[in-house]
Amino acid sequence: MKVSTESLENCRIALNIEAEAGELDKSLDEAYRHLVNEVSVPGFRKGKAPRAILEQHVGKRYLLEEALEHLIPQLYGQAVESQKLEPIARPEIKISQTEPVIFKAVVSLKPEIKLGDYHDLKLEATPPAEISEKEVTAALNEFQERQGAWVPVDRAAQLGDLVAIDIQASVDGKPWLNHKNILYEMNKDSRSPVPGFASQLQDTERNKEKSFSLTVPVDYPIEEMRGKEGTFQVTVAEVKEKQLPELNDELAKGAGYDNLEDMKRKVNDDLKAKAGARNRLELSQKALDGLVEISEVKYPPVLEDEEINELLRNQAQRLGFRELNDYLKKTNRKEEEIRQELRPIAKRRLTESLVLGKLAEEEKIEISSSEVDNRIGEIANDSEDKEKAREFFSLPQIRQSIEQSLRTQKTMDRLLQIAVGKSENMTKGE
């Protein structure tokens, strides 16, 4: 075997490989011995047909392809070992000729990351935000809203109500919706099933059908329905309004506070902690942006493609599709179109991940087994079935994912500590 190398951009190298004549002959013999026991040749028992007869029966090209299927991976593996390479993905193989066997293997290698002088990164930490009385009141009102109860009322439907409705709808004469006795909250800003639907139900009397038309949004998931007129027939079977409890000591005690004043103080503290966490998160992102800007990152295209694959799967699952093909059919979109939309996001995510990984290496950041155990314990304690949760999160691949997540967080904490120095505590709301 002869091997020559050619350096390519983006952490790739091309191996130009030429097999010796004897290597192909040996592989052809092995292919013959395999096929002669698999293929039925008229006039011969399996395993007994001479090679020339077998070649005549299956075709010389078929025998050659069988030989190459084993020879090329074998030669590639030997070439990689001889050149002391560490591939991170399957190679791109292109056969240029078969007699002699000559092919090119494009090998993806580990990314190359050169961090800038991150010790020069400087960010000014902002003081923790003061929480206004208006914000506390808004939080208390939200809590009060969550404690409200839906109570049947004998009147026409109004915005904010919860209604039970029968609905039929069509688009361009084609059936679209057909549901009976479904619950629908009349939120003015709701886009379900289309914007303006809730407002159309306003003042509708119980047990009276109302017909109206609305335009389907141009960004609706089903392409053939976008921008077209939908016709609706809706009957309101029941109307409920939300009755809120009084905001007083009794309500506060029911939520675990000493009284309403105690609740206000603790809500204020909670809002302050959340503001500090948001501030810290924003500072962390600025620090990471700064690190990415001063660093040099090179990686093979296959890593970007893998990141896009992950984003695609997540996007499909988030919209309720188990398979990507189902998502593409339902939305009537081409995969390549979506991939191009996701590419800038994938590039950014991958670059940030590689930079953080290199920083963790430089700063010698490690996660102990006990830290992983503690995190699993925290997750399990928040689950309904603690034992099942602990068992699941203790699986090797899940533990590894948790360890990586903890390592990333600790690395971000270290980067922020470097960037803001002693003033970092100001971002924590202290």
Provide the percentage of residues in the chain whose pLDDT is more than 70.
98
pLDDT-based confidence at 118, cuts 50/70/90? very high
CB 131 within 8 A of CB 272: yes
pLDDT-based confidence at 426, cuts 50/70/90? very low
Question: Cα–Cα distance between 24 and 210 in angstroms, integer?
Answer: 79
pLDDT-based confidence at 99, cuts 50/70/90? confident
Let me know if 334 is exposed, middle or buried by CB neighbors in 10 A (0-12, 13-18, 19+). exposed
pLDDT, mean of residues 325-333: 81
Q: Which fold has domain 2-110?
A: Alpha-Beta Plaits (3.30.70)
pLDDT-based confidence at 59, cuts 50/70/90? confident
SS3 2: strand
Provide the percentage of residues in the chain whose pLDDT is more than 90.
71
Residues of the chain with CATH 3.10.50.40: 149-243
Residues of the chain with CATH 3.30.70.1050: 2-110
Helix residue ranges, H only, 298-368 = 301-318, 324-331, 335-362
Q: Which fold has domain 253-428?
A: Trigger factor, domain 2 (1.10.3120)
More confident residue, 386 or 11: 11
Phi-psi region of 84 (alpha: psi -120 to 50; beta: other; left: phi over 0): left
Q: pLDDT tens digit string along 102-116?
A: 999 999 999 999 999
Q: pLDDT tens digit string along 189-226?
A: 999 999 999 999 999 999 999 999 999 999 888 888 99
pLDDT on residue 326: 84
Q: Which fold has domain 149-243?
A: Chitinase A; domain 3 (3.10.50)
pLDDT-based confidence at 384, cuts 50/70/90? confident
Residues of the chain with CATH 1.10.3120.10: 253-428
CB 20 within 8 A of CB 43: no
pLDDT on residue 385: 87
Let me know if 232 is exposed, middle or buried by CB neighbors in 10 A (0-12, 13-18, 19+). buried
Q: What's the sign of the alpha-carbon dihedral 288, 291, 293, 297?
A: negative
Q: In degrees, to the nearest 5, what angle opens at C-alpha 410 toward C-alphas 405 and 416? A: 125
pLDDT on residue 428: 43
pLDDT, mean of residues 344-367: 96
pLDDT, mean of residues 55-62: 81
Place of tokens 């361009």: 172
| pLDDT exceeds cutoff 60 at 98 | yes
